[in-house]
Chains A and B, each alone.
Chain A
């Protein structure tokens, strides 16, 4: 089974609505990274979480890591068309030989 599960696979939301993307690891993590990408462009680093229960926010995006350090969520408040893209979580931990990515969540924001 996939080591790093990301859900949903794709998401279409109306502008102004809130949304959540989840990332679940089968192994305990040292760090969980969130990136955003538009295809054909490089990755944009959003946030890194390392401590159980940690929560970080940047503008309208909030990421949390659970106490067990196996699950993270990315929450976007009042979505805008500029939020559209592919969101990737990356995991680093004792069970991962290198930074491992989820399959990504494609977000579309309709006007």
Chain B
């Protein structure tokens, strides 16, 4: 099946620094990638949808200047958390959808971000 990887799997950073998370589709071309955020014991919350070569669409309440998304190629999307603060600590999961006419999403393993 389709495989999506994420890097890093976990990261600890100081408050005020920026962190970049990569999401790659390994064996298919992802026309659309999604970024989710999850707090402990809660469901996934969609942050933004990105299509290759165009600007990401952010969900209401998500600061686009804080969470920068770049979908530069059909196999790579990056999420940069700028000027991270402790409240940004969370589990970030990406997913990719690349199969024409089929809306199943393939999920990455997630990245755990801890901001000190």
Residues of chain A touching chain B, judged by Cβ–Cβ distance below 8 Å, are: 30-31, 33, 35, 39-43, 45, 48, 86, 88, 90, 92, 98-99, 101-104, 106
Contacts and interface: CB of A to CB of B under 8 A. Distances in A.
Given A31-B103, A92-B103, A99-B105, A42 B42 contact: no
Nearest to A30: B103
B40 interface: yes
Contact of B40 (A33, A35, A39, A102): A39
A43 B107 contact: yes
A98 B107 contact: no
Top 6 closest pairs, chain A to chain B, by CB: A42-B109, A43-B107, A104-B43, A92-B103, A103-B43, A42-B110
A32 B108 CA distance: 20
B107 A106 contact: no
Given A31-B103, A99-B103, A39 B41 contact: yes
From A43, A88, A101, name the one whose CB has the most chain B CB atoms within 10 angstroms: A43
A35 B110 CA distance: 14
- Main SS of the interface on chain A? strand
B93 A42 contact: yes
A43 B34 CA distance: 14
A33 B38 CA distance: 18
B44 A101 contact: yes
B109 A88 contact: no
Contact of B107 (A40, A42, A92): A42
From A31, A48, A88, A99, name the one whose CB has the most chain B CB atoms within 10 angstroms: A99
A104 B105 CA distance: 17
B34 A98 contact: yes
Given A31-B103, A33-B104, A48-B104, A39 B91 contact: yes
Nearest to B106: A45
B75 interface: no
B19 interface: no
A41 B112 CA distance: 9
